[in-house]
Structure 1
Amino acid sequence: MSTPAVTRATRASRIAMIIAALALIVLALAPWWAGRADLRLMGEIFLYLSLACLWNLMAGYAGLVSVGQQAFVGFGGYMLFALTIFGGLHPIAAILLAGVLAAALSVPVAALIFRLKGAYFAIGTWVVAEVFRLTFAQISALGGGSGTSLPVGIVRSLADSRSGREALSYWLALGAAVTVITCVYLFLRSRRGLALTAIRDSEVAASGLGIDIWRTKLEVYVVTSAFTAVIGGLLFLQKLRISPDAAFSVNDWTAFVIFIVVIGGIGTLEGPIIGTILFFLLRETLADFGTIYLMVLGAVAIVVMLKAPKGVWGLVRDRFDLELFPLSYRVNTKQKGD
């Protein structure tokens, strides 16, 4: 007699988790086997991966297509400088507090921009980011329009040696990526995640089932804003210098992130990982060619959108029925003897 069994995990997902655990151990030991330049590059990769996962949660699941997330990247970076220079906080404590402040700030911002829909929402987020940029450009204590550098004493509070600081920055970036991916994964497997998936598939049907669409989207926006500010703080902890144009750069913190998610596969957890790998492979290969590098990125994005609208991972998933992060339910039929 056959009985249906509803499961999430698959053989492929179990193997993927084992490989991921082994890879995490190897990456955690990188300060002992990688060079200083490699550590900085890998740290940057982890932080971009974190930004991509957060943007994907908003756009791919909540339908909040923002082109202004650089607002919270820059906010997190500036809070790092302000809280350490004027508040006397340790840089790590300042970064965590920046996330809390960003979460609080995102509530009135959401109350304003959630009144907009579709393209108007996207434009609204960009306008908010520009307001942030212009505001911080007027703060002379933080360097105004030219920016400022993190004082040497604050930098040395991280570690006594330069190699120690490089290793700490790397571990913080790696920890941020692991934390973001884990939190997004657990959120999507929860009841809130199920509601979010229902909203993505059909807001009308989700509303009919009693799901509070506005509140669910607000929760996603607040959480992603907080994490984005933390990532922003970590980014500028690596750079040690900040300016309004760098902190609120739409190209660096939003356009490239959108490119990563689109080519990887929007609405999947695997997509941002694949997209980040492809983006950095292209960047490191073509960066010396100047504007040709940006032209190639644009061409790749166009080709992927035309040939694989679901992204590279969407193409792989449809062809081989793979899911490395077990989010969806599967019904298996098991033979059960009397």
Structure 2
Amino acid sequence: MTQLDAPRTAAGTGSVPRVRRGGRAAWAGGAGLVAVVAVLGYLPYLVSRGTQVDLVGLFALVVLGTMWNLLAGYGGMVSIGQQAYIGIGGYGLVYLAETVGVDPFLSVPVAALVCALVAWPTSYLAFRLSGGYFAIGTWVIAEVVRLLVTQVDAVGAGSGASLTAFSGIEPLYRIAFVYWMSLGIAVVVVVGVYLLMRSRLGLALTAIRDDPTAASSAGVRVTRAKRLVYVVAAAGCGLAGAMIVANTLRVQPGSIFSVDYAAIMVFVVVIGGIGTIEGPVLGALVFYLLQDSLADLGNWYLVVVGGVAIAVTLLAPRGLWGLTRGRVELFPTGYRVAVRR
């Protein structure tokens, strides 16, 4: 199977070219990923509770990186305010479970739905801006949301609140259940974005990212597609926020709405490879390993992380996954013209 120029191949050899996605490498990689997920699903029987808690943080990084990549890498929207929806998801879980009395596990998807409902009207305000103004505007929106939350006594106002709805479950089982829930969310988010990018909307997003004007002239409804992506990314960040709070059992406005989350998302995507499905997953793993191994360095930890980001940006502009140069695609979303000799 050789990838060739379609017209020249058909005329020169008489072979019939065909358009395909993926190949044997993609099938093999997919089988490997299924095996990895199966092993991760069995880990609570093998590792300590502390390790499970740490891995939930890794799953949250995967979700956050995937959502920011969907926004910037595929939708062309560079946001530094997604912490607004991380916070809404976390506080939504606490409010639904503690005040309304909804089951805490059921509260997680409901909190994500709340984020989507908030993001829809918010997009009409944010989309009045573009480029760097859009990025700054999303950060301002996040700060406004944080200030509003600190005025709500039902969720602890400025001091935050604790999640006690899990008190009826033994810690051993609670940690395992939260772990499995978080693993499932990470898998669903990654696979969901993969399927989205293989759809007509995914093709439209690629055109919008490359040239919005040309995409619009070709019949793509640019604003509608970008708004849908913005809402989906908000819901995904809400899931991550709920995962974080379910894992720590505590939420505070200063931490859950921290702009540090925006910096982490950018780092994860840029390091792994923007505009790919695999990149954010790899970037999340790299950040998790750096965070775990360098935590004892204090402020020097941030210096090392920054140095790694600079080095990767200079030496591998397409990210670590870009070093494969497309030879390995676990989640193929593009098309290839191939001919069988």
What TM-score bracket applies, with the shorter chain setting the length?
over 0.9
Determine whether 1:270 maps to 2:283.
Answer: no
Give the alignment partner of residue 322 of structure 1, picking from 325, 328, 338.
Answer: 328
Alpha-carbon contact 1:173-1:234 (below 8 Å) kept: yes
Give the alignment partner of residue 137 of structure 1, picking from 127, 147, 150.
Answer: 150
Structure 2 CA distance for aligned equivalents of residues 205 and 308 of structure 1:
29
The aligned residue for residue 11 of structure 2 is none
Structure 2 CA distance for aligned equivalents of residues 180 and 7 of structure 1:
24
The aligned residue for residue 313 of structure 1 is 321
- Shift in Å, 1:41: 1.2
The aligned residue for residue 302 of structure 1 is 310
Task: State the TM-score, normalized to the length of structure 1.
Answer: 0.95
Structure 2 CA distance for aligned equivalents of residues 147 and 281 of structure 1:
29
Map 1:236-275 → 2, pairs under 5 A: 236-251=245-260, 253-275=261-283
Q: Secondary structure at the match of 2:100?
A: coil
CA deviations 1:285-322 (Å, max 9, x no partner) are 1110011110011111111112221111112225xx22
Alpha-carbon contact 1:137-1:144 (below 8 Å) kept: yes
Alpha-carbon contact 2:56-2:243 (below 8 Å) kept: no
- Shift in Å, 1:46: 0.8
- Structure 1, unmatched stretches of 5+, are none
Structure 2 CA distance for aligned equivalents of residues 167 and 324 of structure 1:
28
- Shift in Å, 1:228: 1.3
Q: Which amino acid aligns with 1:179?
A: V
The aligned residue for residue 199 of structure 2 is 190
Aligned length: 328
Map 1:154-303 → 2, pairs under 5 A: 154-157=165-168, 160-251=169-260, 253-303=261-311
Q: Secondary structure at the match of 2:18?
A: strand
Structure 2 CA distance for aligned equivalents of residues 75 and 290 of structure 1:
29
The aligned residue for residue 18 of structure 2 is 5
Q: Which amino acid aligns with 1:117?
A: S
Alpha-carbon contact 2:163-2:249 (below 8 Å) kept: yes
Alpha-carbon contact 2:90-2:244 (below 8 Å) kept: yes
CA deviations 1:264-295 (Å, max 9, x no partner) are 11111111011111111111111100111100
Determine whether 1:93 maps to 2:114.
Answer: no
- Shift in Å, 1:140: 2.2
Alpha-carbon contact 2:111-2:239 (below 8 Å) kept: yes
Q: Which amino acid aligns with 1:322?
A: V
Structure 2 CA distance for aligned equivalents of residues 229 and 246 of structure 1:
15
Q: Which amino acid aligns with 1:267?
A: G
Structure 1 CA distance for aligned equivalents of residues 106 and 49 of structure 2:
25
- Shift in Å, 1:223: 1.0
Q: Secondary structure at the match of 1:310?
A: coil
Determine whether 1:128 maps to 2:137.
Answer: no
The aligned residue for residue 64 of structure 2 is 51
Q: Secondary structure at the match of 2:325?
A: helix
Structure 2 CA distance for aligned equivalents of residues 141 and 181 of structure 1:
34
Q: Which amino acid aligns with 1:227?
A: G
- Shift in Å, 1:145: 1.2
CA deviations 1:222-254 (Å, max 9, x no partner) are 111112112211110111111110110111x21
Root-mean-square deviation (CA), in Å? Answer: 1.1
Q: Report the identity percentage.
A: 45
Structure 2 CA distance for aligned equivalents of residues 272 and 243 of structure 1:
27
Alpha-carbon contact 1:317-1:323 (below 8 Å) kept: no
Determine whether 1:333 maps to 2:329.
Answer: no
- Shift in Å, 1:19: 0.5
Structure 1 CA distance for aligned equivalents of residues 286 and 106 of structure 2:
33
CA deviations 1:159-199 (Å, max 9, x no partner) are x3211101001001100100000110000000111111111
Q: Which amino acid aligns with 1:104?
A: L
Structure 1 CA distance for aligned equivalents of residues 223 and 111 of structure 2:
25
Structure 1 CA distance for aligned equivalents of residues 232 and 154 of structure 2:
29
Map 1:18-97 → 2, pairs under 5 A: 18-97=31-110
Q: Secondary structure at the match of 1:2?
A: coil
